[in-house]
Structure 1
Amino acid sequence: MNQNKMSLDTLQKEAVFSHFFALCRIPHNSHEEKNLSDAIWTWAKAKGMAVWQDERNNLLLRRDASPDARQKPGLIMQAHMDMVCEKAPHVVHDFQKDPLVLEVSGDLLGTGGRTTLGADDGIGVALGLAIMEHPPASHPELELLLTTDEEDTFSGAAAVDFSRIHGRQLLNLDHAREGQAIVGSAGGMGVCCQKYVQLESVQKEDRFICLSIDGMVGGHSGEDIHRGRGSAISLLGRWLEAAGKTAPFRLAQLKGGTFRLAIAREARAVIAVDKVVEPAVVETLESARNHILSEYKETNPEMRMHIEATSIDRISVISARDSKLTTAFLLLAPQGILEMEGLDHFCVRSSANLGELTFDEKKKCVKGMIELRSSATMGAEAMYGKIEALMHLVEGSCTTFSPYPAWPYRKKSSLREKVRKTYETLGQGALLVTPVHCGLECGFFAAACPDLDCVSMGPDTFDLHSPQESLSISSTLRVEHFLRELIKELAR
């Protein structure tokens, strides 16, 4: 394909992109995948495939082996149907009803920075559908397992019934780097941190200052956690802490991020200070702003930090004491890499992401949502112990939710060796075989079916979980070709 002439119309002629474009026309946020699941079920039935849909709207499609490969072990291809829904601040988009707006820029398919693309993992779904529709002439039994709610609680993967599934070789299509075969993933959990606060009356001498951070790159809380992009919420805590060294303040508003699985790109606070100390506080904030912007100028070239005098319709604010404790939480909440693996190549073992921050004035409650990840057996639990200690110190509380298991490395893997052989036979260089620092559904599958042999692969996708998300067109086509060659190898 001539990349200089690529357009949406030319891509539509490629089976994998035709399927992907169809997905993009059907909203499919986590917990809202039923319409997409029903559409794929209807399509599979029309194509004469065996297809099952469970109560979680998971799908299993099956195609019989070609006559020459009926005795060969079958292959399960697997992807998830839901997507993370993030949009740029200026964009009007309703993820419950609006189709995604797509653009081609060179070799990249994206949304022009408007919204997430949903290539995580819509392109995995599309690859599976393209193969199931037109498999190689010689192929073993093929199954396509499509799950729901991967981006939130993994409830779809947790509900999969392997008694219905024939295959014991599973190729997960939810990785974002071509040339890598993933053979293990982190486990983790969500953590909800809450601090109830005392409110005090606004005083006549109070002056309000609005602090806002935006324009940060953000990204995937697992796969991008090592890129040094910083978190708007954590930096807001650092900024507030600098102000508190000059004079006491009381928080009036507090908000940051949108989802615990996405690194926070924006954060905002409004503080009340006595008019006598306002100039000194602003001076301190300006100095801290300059230091932070300088520190992050390479990884966040569009980052902005605003300081504005403001007036708000408030009769109460968080007490000075609880404002100080809340700032301590933001400053000390674990964020980013916490531990590295002892491997020859770069790999994160444990990390945390404070991805969402809110203040509910009616409930008098500050809430933070954290995602913990670790490939160590008890790594997430150990990190949670530290958060428990922190919340005790700031007079708050925390609870866990949506735990998911790690996918342990398998020493002997027939599928891994066939994947490696096929990839290197195609002349695309050596294949990097590595674990990955994100949660993959393979952890649930391996726990439910101990003899399951899993590998995860996929095309190059960039800036996941952010409006800058994009997908390499050429990489997608190469991965589709690789899948077809792998299936031929499995049929031999």
Structure 2
Amino acid sequence: MEKNRAIEQLQPVAVWQNFKALTQIPRPSGKRDLITKYLVDFGKNLGLESFEDEAGNVIIRKPATPGLENLKGVVLQAHMDMVPQKNAAVAHDFEKDPIDAFVDGEWVRANQTTLGADNGIGVASALAVLQSKDLTHGPVEVLITADEETGMFGAVGLKNGTLKGEVLLNLDSEDEGELYVGCAGGINAHISFAYKEEPVYHGDVAYKISLTGLKGGHSGLDINLGRANANKLLFRLLKYLVSSFEARLASVEGGNLRNAIPREAFAVVTVPEEGQDDLLEAISEMEAIFKSEYASVEPDLKIIAEEVDLPEGMLPEFVQDDLINGITACPNGVLRFVPEMPEVVETSTNLAIVKSDGSHVEVACLVRSSVESMKEELCSMIESVFSLAGAKVEFSGGYPGWQPHFDSPILKVMSQVYADKFGNTPEIKVIHAGLECGIIGSAVPGLDMISFGPTIRHPHSPDEKVNIATVAKFWDYLTAVLKAIPAK
């Protein structure tokens, strides 16, 4: 099928034109200057109150349709940043290059990079509400938060009193027809191994091992799919090579985002020259084992070993062994499902990043749970494993879960609107991925909150795509909800 790149011609045009504009603005987490200016100017050019707060969030206020000033104020909330993930084969600089988005059948996707539909479609829809002269609604605030993907820093920094609305519609869910009323909390685990490099043995040869081709994905939404974690597989291989073939580890790099399942991992190892044929054969054997184990979920998995120049140094053997044992033993994936809802993940962790720099190996995990005590238990497990391995372990960036309120007034309104408009009842769900509602609700007590969105698949990976028909349905639903907001 020929790829039609004119996404701005899709319906609803206002949403897709705004989304196309967002794809042209580099906006990886932590690099928000360009997107912040664009959003503030967008509001000001419409004659609306538009500003950036101390935490880097953008707030834009639109008055009510005349005669509807008595309706409860609505906050449309989304986040401005996107996850920068790409396939190794494509040359793309997320800080400079636009996203190459195109229509592919029923979906919009990008050319071997993340698309940014998470959460660009939510932002684009909120901007379309601001633009519209035809929609009927009460007072509207648009809250576009900063750096959600790396720690929800914008939401964490939101000050009480900044928002005026009473109802918050989070536009950051990824299954049309589902209304989310709760989510898991999370915390970051930081593990560090300090070392001083040792010289490489004369007579050794060096190989770079590249484990690639995995699907990766969102560590909240996709953690239950049984996909391989590149870091776990690489260190499983390294343990075999070190224990059986006198290999030594010189450097390692796997994963780059705490909330993305790592798709690729790389290591440089040395081995005595006479043992290199055995090493290559062992790597080939392990590749076959991994392919067999993950045949149905990781069909593109591959391991390549290529000879490279000898590195200047390598990890001391005791640090190497402690690191390998720690990574091998570290929990990863789903720890527990909700006992009352066995299809819903309760507690999980993502072994997201392992990276050496010549003096330290830094390891990062993201722990999630909808039960605070289980989150603490999983943190204790990780701390125990790496403390035994001699590493420094710290936790930071903890954020609360969002406790469901099934008697929420906005939930009743939105359920009825959906039934009236589409003839069936939306599913009411709790999500394992982190949403900003819990944090915002802590900063602004009393907000009545709900999360919804169009259908997006494989966010946080280059396979990310958004379903075109559900964007139109999402927009129709959003505008109908705005009309149905009750009076104060």
The alignment's TM-score, normalised by the length of structure 1, stands at: 0.93
Contact (CA 8 Å) 1:135, 1:484: kept in 2 or not? no
The answer to whether 1:479 aligns with 2:474 is yes
Shift of 1:216: 0.8
| Whole-Å separation in 2 of the counterparts to 1:36 and 1:209 | 41
Rounded Cα–Cα distance in structure 1 between residues aligned with 2:5 and 2:235: 45
Of 219, 233, 236, which residue of structure 2 is paired with 1:235? 233
Contact between 1:357 and 1:367, CA under 8 Å: does it hold in 2?
yes
Residue 25 of structure 1 corresponds to: 24
Summarize deviations over 1:321-355 as a string: whole Å, max 9, x none: 32222111221122111111123351111111112
Instruction: For 1:488 and 1:95, locate their aligned partners in 2 and report how far apart those are by CA, in whole Å.
Output: 38
- Residue 469 of structure 1: how far off its partner (Å): 1.2
Q: Which residue of 2 aligns with 1:154?
A: 152
Pick aligned residue for 2:315 from 310, 315, 318? 318
Match of 1:371 in 2: 366
- In structure 2, what is the equivalent of residue 128 of structure 1? 126
SS for the counterpart of 2:314 is: strand
What's the CA shift for 1:6? Answer: 8.4
> In the alignment, which residue of structure 1 is the partner of 2:382?
387
Q: Which amino acid aligns with 1:341?
A: V
Which residue in the other structure is 1:100 paired with? 99
| Preserved contact between residue 249 and residue 323 of structure 1 (Cα < 8 Å) | no
1:335 paired to 2:336: no
The C-alpha deviation readout for 1:246-280, integer Å capped at 9, x for no partner, is: 24431012111121211111111222233455444
Cross-structure match for 2:188 = 190
Moved more, 82-91 or 379-388: 379-388
Q: Give 1:222 deviation, angstroms.
A: 1.0
The separation in 2 between residues aligned to 1:387 and 1:71, in whole angstroms, is 51
Cα distance in 2, alignment partners of residues 367 and 286 from structure 1: 28
Aligned partner of 1:422 in structure 2 is 417
Of residues 62-71 and 212-221 in structure 1, the stretch that sits farther from structure 2 once superposed is 62-71
Q: Which residue matches 1:254? A: 252
Root-mean-square deviation over aligned CA pairs: 2.2
Report the 3-state secondary structure (helix = DSSP H, G, I; strand = E; otherwise coil) of the residue aligned with 2:485: helix
Change (3 A) 1:367 1:4: closer
- Aligned-pair distance for 1:65? 2.1
Measure, in 1, the Cα distance between the counterparts of 2:386 and 2:5. Answer: 53
Match of 2:355 in 1: 358
Amino acid at match of 2:417: T
Q: What is the identity, as a one-letter code, of the residue corresponding to 1:24?
A: T
Q: Displacement, 1:207?
A: 3.5
Overall identity of the aligned pairs, in %: 31
> Relative to 1, partners in 2 of residues 1:345 and 1:139: Cα closer, same or farther, differing over 3 Å?
farther
Three-state SS of the structure 1 residue aligned to 2:10 is helix
Deviation of the 1:358 alpha carbon? 0.9
Contact 1:6-1:106 at 8 Å conserved across structures: no
Q: 1:452 aligns with which of 423, 447, 454?
A: 447
Structure 1 contact 80–146 (Cα < 8 Å) conserved: yes
Matches of residues 344-355 of structure 1 in structure 2 within 5 Å?
344=341, 346-355=343-352
2-structure distance, mates of 1:191, 1:312:
34
Match of 2:291 in 1: 293
- TM-fit CA distance, 1:34: 2.6
| 1:50 has 2:49 as partner | yes
Structure 1: runs of 5 or more not aligned:
none
Q: Give the conservation status (yes or no) of the 8 Å contact 1:178–1:479.
A: yes
- Compared CA separation, residues 59 and 93, structure 1 to 2 (3 A): same
| CA distance in structure 2 between the partners assigned to 1:208 and 1:34 by the alignment | 42
Contact 1:184 1:434 in 2 (8 A): yes
CA distance in 2 between counterparts of 1:59 and 1:90 reads: 35
Q: How far does residue 292 in structure 1 lie from its aligned partner after superposition? A: 0.7
Amino acid at match of 2:449: C
List alignment gaps of at least 5 residues for structure 2.
none
Distance in 2 (alpha carbons) for counterparts of 1:235 and 1:4 = 35
**SS at 1:69 equivalent:** coil
State the SS of the aligned residue for 1:465. coil
Match of 1:180 among 178, 187, 195: 178
Distance apart, 1:228 and its partner CA: 1.2
1:394-453, CA deviations, whole angstroms, 9 ceiling, x for partnerless residues? 111111222211111124200111111111222253311111111111111111122111
Secondary structure of the 2:341 match is: coil
Matched, 1:265 2:259: no
Contact (CA 8 Å) 1:198, 1:322: kept in 2 or not? no
Structure 2 partner of 1:142: 140
CA contact (8 A) 1:78 1:170 kept: yes
1:399 and 2:394 aligned: yes
Q: 2:168 aligns with which of 167, 170, 187?
A: 170
SS of the counterpart of 1:164?
coil
Distance 1:135 1:340, change over 3 A: farther
Distance 1:283 1:138 in 2: 68
Shift of 1:24: 1.4
Do 1:202 and 1:314's aligned partners in 2 also have CA atoms closer than 8 Å? yes
Candidates 283, 286, 305, aligned match of 2:303: 305
Report matched runs for 1:206-245 at 5 Å. 206-245=204-243
Tell whether the 8 Å contact from 2:183 to 2:430 is kept in structure 1 after alignment. yes
> CA separation in 2, counterparts of 1:447 and 1:9?
37
Change beyond 3 A, Cα 1:393–1:182: same
Aligned partner letter, 2:256: T
> Conserved in 2, the CA contact under 8 Å of 1:190 and 1:371?
yes
Q: Are the aligned partners of 1:34 and 1:57 in contact in 2 as well (CA < 8 Å)?
A: no
Question: TM-score normalized by structure 2?
Answer: 0.94
Distance 1:233-1:6 versus aligned 2 partners, 3 A rule: closer
Q: Secondary structure at the match of 1:346?
A: strand
Deviation at 1:302, TM superposition (A): 1.5
Instruction: Evaluate the alpha carbon distance shift between residue 59 and residue 352 of structure 1 in structure 2; reply closer, same or farther with a 3 A threshold.
Output: same
Deviation, structure 1 residue 87: 1.7
Is the deviation greater in 93-102 or in 177-186?
93-102
Deviation at 1:370, TM superposition (A): 1.1
Tell me, yes or no, if the aligned pair for 1:211 and 1:305 is still in contact at 8 Å.
Answer: yes
1: CA distance, partners of 2:322 / 2:295: 30
**CA contact 2:8–2:16 (8 Å) conserved in 1:** no
Distance 1:296 1:260 in 2: 23
User: 2:3–2:104: 8 Å Cα contact kept in structure 1?
Assistant: no
